[in-house]
Structure 1
């Protein structure tokens, strides 16, 4: 089957190769970041360990990939959901997709804002300096943003983890209970399908 296979309505039957690659690369990076973040909960945020620089480096790369993914999604139509999917499930699916995109954007941005408020340098993989977000001197002097941003970032990470769990449960529901093609739309192709 080629990537241009269409359904009867003319909609693409599955996501294209770029969307699939971005989905799975970002998913792996996000899971890595969550695991690293959980481990780093036991390390003071102002302790400049190599783990913090790794977390910041992978976070910036993930953020850039998410920007590419959002731009790709805005310019490439998603495959249609099954026609027999109830309207309420379609609404929930759309809402969940929107929430996941928002979290993928806000979470790295809050991390970037947090280290910027703390004036902590970002050196991508120990090689390239990444600029901090310029903040007014009054904000830097007050220290309030530096105090609240770790809590906001942490809260967003935990709630994002909850939404990821719901996303995985929904995928399992479609694969094993509804037994429809929703999950297949985003899975990489096997050699026999080319």
Structure 2
């Protein structure tokens, strides 16, 4: 049913060969991942004062949700690469189009690198990952020399934290841009990804 609705949505074009808005699969993935990322950032900030070397149930929850989020991001990227995105407003300046495309690319890169660095971090520390206490998730295999040196285990928490803070900043810019389109430009950019689309007055 969802796939059928996706095809119907993609048949409604703007004259550029692109759909007017994202289909239901893309919309669901966008908002589910957004909620998971907000949860992960909040949980990460709360855990910031807890040493990674002193694992708690919160660490295991953080790792579990992180792995699930990473898998959903992979699905989202594959879906995005195989389905055309809606066209941007025709009156949007070229510079803003370039910035929008660059921002989209950066957000995808952060969504990939952030969970991967977390996975690499716990792998370097040889810390087990048990998804929600039920299913063991494999660690990234690393050379024994890397494990013995301990250098990767030492730097990865800082790398992961730096990426998380940077990602949070880009998310804030993304939200500000959405608010700008919604309330200042008053165009249809935000409507393309909203779960419920109605007429604008």
Give the TM bin, normalised by the shorter chain: over 0.9
* Separation of aligned partners in 2, 1:91 and 1:11: 18
CA contact (8 A) 2:129 2:139 kept: yes
Aligned residue runs from structure 1 range 175-194, under 5 A:
175-189=182-196
Deviation of 1:9 after TM superposition, in Å, equals 2.4
For 2:112, the equivalent position in structure 1 comes to 105
2:14–2:20 contact (8 Å) kept in structure 1? yes
Please list every run of 5 or more consecutive structure 2 residues that lacks an aligned counterpart in the other structure. Answer: none
Which string of whole-angstrom CA distances, capped at 9 and with x for unpartnered residues, describes residues 132-174 of structure 1?
0000000000000000000000000000000000000000000
2-structure distance, mates of 1:42, 1:140: 25
Q: How far did residue 6 of structure 1 move?
A: 1.6
Aligned to 2:43: 36
Matched residue SS, 2:136: strand
SS of residue paired to 1:133: coil
Q: Return the offset for 1:190.
A: 5.1
Normalised to the residue count of structure 1, the TM-score between the two structures is: 0.96
Written as runs of structure 1 = structure 2, the 5 A alignment for 1:62-73 is: 62-73=69-80
Which 4+ stretches in 1 moved above 4 angstroms? none
Q: Identify which of 7, 13, 25 aligns with 2:20.
A: 13
CA distance in 1, matches of 2:188, 2:50: 43
Q: Distance in 2 between matches of 1:191 and 1:73?
A: 24
* Cα deviation, residue 10, structure 1: 2.8
Query: Structure 1, unaligned stretches of length 5 or more?
Result: none
Determine which of 126, 144, 148 is the counterpart of 1:137: 144
Q: Does 1:50 align with 2:54?
A: no
**Following TM superposition, by how much is the alpha carbon of 1:30 offset from its aligned partner in structure 2, in angstroms?**
0.2
Calculate the TM-score normalised by the size of structure 2. 0.93
Q: Aligned equivalents of 2:175 and 2:196: distance in 1?
A: 19
Q: Is the 8 A contact 2:191 2:197 kept in 1?
A: no
Describe the SS at the equivalent of 1:66.
helix
Structure ranking higher on relative contact order (CA contacts 8 Å, 6+ apart): 1
Q: 1:57 deviation in Å?
A: 0.1
Q: Is the 8 A contact 2:182 2:190 kept in 1?
A: yes
